[in-house]
């Protein structure tokens, strides 16, 4: 067993860490307050080689392995979950999904442009009545005279949906077949009948993320837009989520590490009762528990990524990583706010944002309940 990172992985880690610290960190507070991420930052992520990192070189990517991608998400997540979330949707849910399921023409058409950030991607699965129960989606794809489909329906909470140029859209062509009727389509967001607006309300966290409510109104799509075969859509969606969930787990690892870093720093410098608060055993116990959780999370996240690199099916290990990482990070953020006292309760210190952001990671790309379902089904089998 070898726990060392390779020189190539260390290089990606250093590159992502430098980008997160130098380019993202100075913007986090402003982005959180203004509720958006500058498009110029997305362009920088592309030119730095992050957006296309895991794409093969022939499609304009950096040829990273899954461990490298996890390291990149960890470093971005350590600084800003909205930025990490943007990239996970664009790169893991969209580009990697096209790489796995696309025809050669689709790959050549979209992947280099996605890697260069000329196209932004979004993944349109969730609906008002189909969140955790994704297979019960109500959007329909009706065959239209043999040369294409007409899509009608509605999607909510679509990350990047307001700024994306390309969506992977899931709709059911025959609801009597349940999940076997679902098809996946590659749809330009300027297609006739594609309407989008910002989600109403102000989110608890991830305030710089773009979340859209999308309607499809008699939207025509050609058969060439099918991603995978007719009826493969549910498998396309689930396999993409295997990659996305790993990205969320790695991002949560970054948040947990950021909480630990902030707490160690604060415990060393904050003085009460005539000494640094880190001298108190209750503070030491908090830091030690947090450090143990961060280590365990890191091992689970890297294992799931390593398994992907071995070409193994890692849905169970990915769900374990996402479940454990998000719960550990929720706990770390909770403790971090407490340890910072009054300062932790204001945006003077970033732990307040970690506390608000992390709840989202426990919900999107499959809630903690859904991860437990995936794990339990692997243990018990299906009756």
- Our finding on whether 374 is near ligand CAA (CB under 6 A) is yes
Q: Residue 151, SS3? A: strand
Per CB under 6 A, contacts with ligand CAA among 255-314 are: none
CB of 131 to ligand CAA, least distance (A): 7
Cβ-based neighbour number of residue 164 at 10 Å:
26
Structure tokens at 213: 């409510």
- Of positions 12, 70, 250, 315, contacts ligand CAA by CB under 6 A: 315
- Our finding on whether 179 is near ligand CAA (CB under 6 A) is yes
* Residue that the structure tokens 């454990």 belong to: 324
Q: Residue 125, SS3? A: coil
Active centre residues (catalytic):
365
CA dist., res. 125 & res. 89, Å (int): 12
Tell me how far the alpha carbon of residue 284 is from its chain's centroid. Answer: 32
Q: What number of chain residues touch ligand CAA (CB under 6 A)?
A: 26
Three-class DSSP labels, 262-299: HHHHHHHHCEECCEEHHHCHHHHHHHHHHHHHHHHHHH
Nearer to ligand CAA, 226 or 236 (CB): 236
- Of positions 241, 260, 301, 314, contacts ligand CAA by CB under 6 A: 241
Pick the piece of the chain touching ligand CAA (CB under 6 A) from 48-56, 193-201, 236-244, 330-338.
236-244
Nearest one of 301, 186, 298, 299 to 240, comparing CA atoms: 186
CA torsion, ordered 42, 116, 303, 290, to nearest 10 deg:
-10
Per CB under 6 A, contacts with ligand CAA among 50-89 are: 89
- Of positions 41, 93, 187, 301, contacts ligand CAA by CB under 6 A: 93
CB of 119 to ligand CAA, least distance (A): 16
Q: Which residues bind ligand CAA (CB under 6 A)?
A: 89, 93, 123, 125-126, 132, 134-135, 157-159, 179-180, 234-235, 238-239, 241-242, 315, 364-366, 370, 373-374
């Amino acid at each position: 067993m070898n726990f060392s990172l390779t020189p190539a992985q260390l290089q990606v880690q250093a590159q992502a860490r430098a980008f997160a610290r130098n380019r993202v960190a100075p913007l986090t507070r402003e982005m959180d307050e203004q509720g958006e991420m500058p498009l110029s930052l997305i362009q920088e992520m592309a030119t730095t080689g992050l957006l296309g990192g895991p794409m093969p070189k022939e499609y304009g990517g950096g040829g990273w392995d899954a461990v490298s991608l996890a390291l990149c998400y960890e470093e971005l997540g350590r600084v800003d979950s909205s930025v990490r979330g943007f990239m996970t949707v664009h790169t893991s849910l969209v580009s990697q999904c096209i790489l796995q399921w696309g025809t050669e023409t689709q790959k050549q058409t979209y992947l280099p442009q996605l890697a260069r950030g000329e196209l932004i991607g979004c993944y349109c699965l969730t609906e008002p009545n189909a969140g955790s129960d994704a297979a019960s989606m109500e959007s329909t794809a009706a065959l239209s005279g043999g040369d294409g489909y007409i899509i009608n329906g509605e999607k909510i909470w679509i990350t990047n949906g307001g700024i994306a140029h390309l969506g992977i859209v899931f709709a059911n062509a025959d609801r009597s077949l349940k999940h076997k009727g679902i098809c996946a389509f590659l749809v330009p967001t300027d297609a006739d009948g594609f309407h989008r607006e910002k989600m109403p309300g102000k989110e608890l966290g991830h305030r710089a993320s773009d979340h859209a409510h999308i309607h499809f109104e008699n939207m025509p799509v050609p058969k060439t837009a099918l991603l995978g075969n007719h009826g493969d859509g549910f498998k396309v969606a689930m396999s993409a989520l295997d990659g996305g969930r790993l990205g969320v787990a790695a991002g949560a690892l970054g948040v947990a590490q950021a909480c630990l870093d902030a707490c160690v720093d604060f415990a060393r410098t904050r003085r009460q009762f005539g000494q640094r608060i880190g001298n108190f055993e209750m503070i030491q116990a908090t830091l030690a528990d947090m450090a143990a959780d961060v280590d365990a999370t890191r091992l689970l996240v890297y294992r799931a990524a390593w398994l992907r690199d071995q070409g193994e099916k890692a849905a169970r290990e990915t769900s374990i990583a996402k479940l454990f990482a998000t719960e550990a990070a929720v706990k770390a953020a909770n403790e971090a706010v407490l340890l910072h006292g009054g300062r932790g309760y204001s945006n003077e210190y970033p732990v307040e944002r970690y506390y608000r952001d992390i709840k989202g990671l426990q919900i999107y790309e499959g809630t903690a309940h859904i991860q437990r379902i995936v794990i339990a089904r692997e243990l018990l089998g299906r009756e």
